[in-house]
Amino acid sequence: MDFSTKLNALVARTDAALDALVPALPAAAPAGPARIHAAMRYSLQAGGKRLRPALALAAAGLGGPDATAAALPAAAALECVHTYSLIHDDLPCMDDDDLRRGRPTCHRAFDEATALLAGDALLAHAFLIVGEGYADRPALAAALLRELAGAASGARLVGGQMQDLLAERAGGEVAASDLEFIHLNKTAALLEASLVCGGLVAGLPAPALDGLRRAGRHLGLAFQIVDDVLDATADTAALGKTAGKDARAGKATYVSLHGIDAAARMAADETARARAALAALPGDPAFLLGLADLMLARRS
Ligand code: GRG
């Protein structure tokens, strides 16, 4: 199977898992709180690239096809945490954006309070999916929950977002080391957790989990640098979210600190470091290497 066919198949399996694992809409579950479930599904099913699930399923695949199938609940949970973070990031009190994944943001399609609650519910639901999905493997469930909670924590995803907001309030004056802290946590934490969760489901040994974590860190930095370059160079239609926001907001980014060409070179360097870590993993890392290349070459 070639790379795109395999990626499309993993995305389709992720979409089916999300559909099965996230509360249904009123017709199927008439007693449920319909509006919140509709808002959760609206953002989940808005056409995200499913990169985090793909990374988790690909890392699990190092342990064989059964491990890939077993990683589907973890992959769905990672997408729930990611989607929560996007919904909250778009809120007026944060980035105040109208467009996400090519459609009106959750608070524009519903309202601010509903969007806040949909994000909260998706975050909680991620942990429910893992707790229920791996109830028959309690040690694995505990390891996955710890990994996911750590990535979403005040030290990582939320902590990175906090520092990002503070940097913006300070007028975009940020040292390169502060910018790296922000992106290692706001962006890389969840990509890192995606690879590690896949490796945990596959039962990979500690050195391989360390390799996955290292790869995730470099992929995360590369991903963010590409995001900064795209914000400066692509248009809103191609991105599916508002382009050029960073410069308008006077925000410190890899592009504002280093310029577009140097930032692009840094993204390539980080991808090369991620590739080196992935190439040393047990099993066949070819698909993971393809994902690393795709993340560098992406245009949205
Ligand atoms: C609100 C706790 C909290 C965190 C927000 C997600 C986030 C942290 C900020 C969004 C701003 C941003 C540009 C982050 C960079 C990386 C990122 C998460 C980009 C979006 O991820 P993609 O491109 O999105 O994988 P899709 O929609 O394809 O899933």
> Three-class SS string for 236-277?
HHHHCCCCCHHHHCCCCCHHHHHCHHHHHHHHHHHHHHHHHH
CB atoms within 10 A of CB 245: 16
Instruction: Note the pLDDT of residue 27.
Output: 63
- Which residues lie closer than 8 Å to 51 by C-beta, 6 or more apart? 191, 194, 223, 291, 295
Instruction: Note the pLDDT of residue 164.
Output: 92
Residue 82 C-alpha to ligand 1 middle, in angstroms? 7
55-73 pLDDT, tens digit per residue, is: 999 999 999 999 999 999 9
Number of compact structural domains in the chain: 1
Nearest CA to ligand 1 atom 2: 158
CA–CA separation, 200 vs 209, rounded Å? 7
Pocket test for ligand 1, best of 96, 158, 182, 186 (most atoms within 8 A of CB): 186
What mean pLDDT do residues 279-290 have? 96
Instruction: Note the pLDDT of residue 29.
Output: 57
Instruction: Note the pLDDT of residue 28.
Output: 59
191-248 pLDDT, tens digit per residue, is: 999 999 999 999 999 999 999 999 999 999 999 999 999 999 988 888 877 888 887 8
Percent with pLDDT over 90 in the chain: 81
Residue 100 C-alpha to ligand 1 middle, in angstroms? 10
Instruction: Note the pLDDT of residue 252.
Output: 84
With a 6 Å cutoff on the Cβ, whether 49 touches ligand 1 is: yes
With a 6 Å cutoff on the Cβ, whether 157 touches ligand 1 is: yes
Query: What is the residue whose two structure tokens read 């985090």?
Result: 52
Q: Please give the model's pTM, rounded to 2 decimal places.
A: 0.94
Q: Which atom of ligand 1 is nearest to the CA of 86?
A: 6
CATH number at residue 66: 1.10.600.10
Residue 190 C-alpha to ligand 1 middle, in angstroms? 10
Pocket test for ligand 1, best of 89, 101, 157 (most atoms within 8 A of CB): 89
Q: Which domain holds residue 30?
A: 3-297
Instruction: Note the pLDDT of residue 175.
Output: 87
With a 6 Å cutoff on the Cβ, whether 85 touches ligand 1 is: yes
92-136 pLDDT, tens digit per residue, is: 999 999 999 889 999 999 999 999 999 999 999 999 999 999 999
What mean pLDDT do residues 173-201 have? 94
Q: Which atom of ligand 1 is nearest to the CA of 152?
A: 2
Residue 90 C-alpha to ligand 1 middle, in angstroms? 10
Q: Are 139 and 133 in contact (CB under 8 A)?
A: no
Residue 164: which of 184, 149, 186, 141 has the closest Cα? 186
With a 6 Å cutoff on the Cβ, whether 14 touches ligand 1 is: no
Instruction: Note the pLDDT of residue 30.
Output: 53
> Is the pLDDT assigned to residue 154 strictly greater than 80?
yes
Mean pLDDT of the chain: 94
With a 6 Å cutoff on the Cβ, whether 114 touches ligand 1 is: no
CB atoms within 10 A of CB 250: 11
Q: Which atom of ligand 1 is nearest to the CA of 190?
A: 18
Residue 283 C-alpha to ligand 1 middle, in angstroms? 30
